[in-house]
Amino acid sequence: MLIFGLTGGIASGKSTVSRILEELGCPVVDADVLARRVVEPGRPAWRAIVGHFRDEILQEDGTINRERLGSIVFDDESKRKTLNRCTHPYIRREVLWELAKHFSKGSSYVVLVSPLLFETKYALHYMRQTIVVSCTDSQQLSRLMARDRLSKEEAVKRIEAQIPLSCKISWADVEIDNSGSRLETRGQVQHLVENMKRLSHCRLILFRTLIAVFASFMFVVFSFFAVS
């Protein structure tokens, strides 16, 4: 199974692309979705977070107040590192589990959506290709401010908590330019899916050819011993 890593900057359009991929029937594992699952009340990451950040980041129903925790960790790098230590090992475990499920279902490829793919370098060596979702710096800022109702100062802090989008663009194998309309992005994603299918198909043919060559070789060896 080939793994394609999809990343980008905060609010550059990863979820938008991820939704289009799912609509096109593409297998997707989204680390942001899993990151929400691991902090459900009572789970180990939730306990670790409450241990470090105390009850003030909890809502009445015991769930984490993400807005409050976000404003704490994007204001202070050491607290963000602490949060990462509380969550990342559990997110990695969930990612592995989801990938294993796709593998056991016989998927020939899967797209792993991971905002911090280049920051954490997690499983980077296993990616057949890395894909970055890009937009202009001013679009990133305005889209983030509008979506999360943040001031310019708060939004800039969140953008600066990650490797600059321009670096990610230069490191990735493929770029999905999300600076145009959603329809234009959709066209690029359709092209991407065709390419991922082609690559995984080539791998499948190579794998089957190797099996056939190995089986033929074993047949010749057994025939030789049977005759002699």
Ligand X SMILES: CC(C)(COP(=O)(O)OP(=O)(O)OC[C@H]1O[C@@H](n2cnc3c(N)ncnc32)[C@H](O)[C@@H]1O)[C@@H](O)C(=O)NCCC(=O)NCCS
Q: Which does 178 bind (CB under 5 to 8 A by kind): ligand X, ligand ATP, none?
A: ligand ATP
135 binds ligand X (CB under 6 A): no
3-state class (DSSP) for residue 100: helix
Compute, in degrees rounded to 10, the torsion defined by CA atoms 108, 114, 119, 120.
-60
Q: How many residues bind ligand X (CB under 6 A)?
A: 17
116 binds ligand X (CB under 6 A): yes
Least Å distance, CB 147 to ligand ATP, is 4
Q: Which is nearer to ligand X, 9 or 27 (CB)?
A: 9
Nearest CA to 115 out of 21, 188, 31 is that of: 31
Q: Which is nearer to ligand X, 120 or 195 (CB)?
A: 120
Alpha-carbon distance of 38 to 47, in angstroms, equals 10
Q: Which does 134 bind (CB under 5 to 8 A by kind): ligand ATP, ligand X, none?
A: none
Least Å distance, CB 96 to ligand ATP, is 21
Category of 106 on φ-ψ map: left (φ > 0), alpha (ψ -120 to 50) or beta: left
Residue positions counted in the chain = 228
87 binds ligand X (CB under 6 A): yes
Q: Which of 114, 130, 185, 188 binds ligand ATP (CB under 6 A)?
A: 185
162 binds ligand ATP (CB under 6 A): no
The label of the residue with tokens 């670096």 reads: 167
Q: Which of 5, 27, 70, 115 binds ligand ATP (CB under 6 A)?
A: 115
Compute, in degrees rounded to 10, the torsion defined by CA atoms 90, 96, 97, 99.
140
Q: Which is nearer to ligand ATP, 15 or 82 (CB)?
A: 15
The angle subtended at Cα 155 by Cα 140 and Cα 21, nearest 5°, is 40
User: CB neighbours of 159 closer than 8 A, spacing ≥ 6?
Assistant: 9, 10, 140, 141, 144
Site residues (vs ligand ATP, CB under 6 A): 8, 10-16, 32, 115, 143, 147, 178, 181-182, 185
Binding residues for ligand X, rule: CB under 6 A, are 10, 31-32, 35, 66, 69-70, 73, 80, 83-84, 87, 91, 115-116, 161-162
